Structure 1
Amino acid sequence: MTPREIHSLMRRLCPFGVSKADGYRHLVRNDALDRDLVDSLLSDYIATDGVFVYANAKKSSYVPKAAAFQLIQEHRNGDDRMAVQVVASDFSARVAIHPIGVGVGEHKILRRQ
């Protein structure tokens, strides 16, 4: 899937920011983003094996959940001042990791049809 296709999906299915209702978690230890803390946050919200890692229209990928941390690191180390979103492949949940080293997640409430 191309970054443009991922961007279109994100705009259509995730038009708003992540709710802060569950509260932020600190993800930094020893002045660096901690893999264990990030993996714990992702595991608490995202049950799928594949995830979309989305920083912006040009920096987005579909990867296995285990590879998400590396992409989050790359996007955080760039000039981006926006949160990196990690979204379950079925769009049932998402996590936002902000440049200051905090993250928050939410489960999407699916409507019955």
Structure 2
Amino acid sequence: MTPREIHSLMRKLCYFGVSDADGYRHLMRSDELDRDLVIQLIDEYITTQDVIVYANAKDCSYVGKPAAFELIQKYRLNDARAPVEVVAADFSSRIVIEPIGVGVGEHRRMRS
């Protein structure tokens, strides 16, 4: 999937913000994003093997779930002020990691 296709899908299917009903979680340890905490958050919400990691129209990728943490780190270095989203390949759930090092997730209600 190209960045343009990903950006189009994100604008079409993820135009709304993530609810903070589940509460934000701290993802930092020793002033760095902690790999274990981020992976735990991803695994709790996202069940698909592939994910979309999205920061903006240029910084986005469709990858396997194990590669998500490295991309999150890379995109945070590119733009430290932008949140990074990780979205399930089927758009059933997503998480957002805010620039201050907290994250929140939600499961999307699917129409029946």
| 1: CA distance, partners of 2:110 / 2:64 | 23
- Identity within the alignment, %: 67
2:39 is aligned with 1:19: no
Runs of 4+ in 1 over 4 A off after TM superposition: none
Q: d(CA) in 1 for partners of 2:30 and 2:81?
A: 21
The one-letter code matched in structure 1 to 2:4 is R
Alpha-carbon shift at residue 80 of structure 1 (Å): 4.3
Unpaired segments of 5 or more residues in structure 1? none
Amino acid at match of 1:58: K
Aligned to 2:56: 56
2:99 aligned counterpart, secondary structure? coil
The equivalent residue for 2:74 is 74
Residue correspondences, number: 112
Q: Aligned to 1:47, what secondary structure does the other structure show? A: coil
Q: What runs of 5+ residues in structure 2 fail to find an aligned partner?
A: none
TM-score (norm 2): 0.97
Determine helix, strand or coil for the equivalent of 2:51: strand
Q: TM-score, normalised by structure 1?
A: 0.97
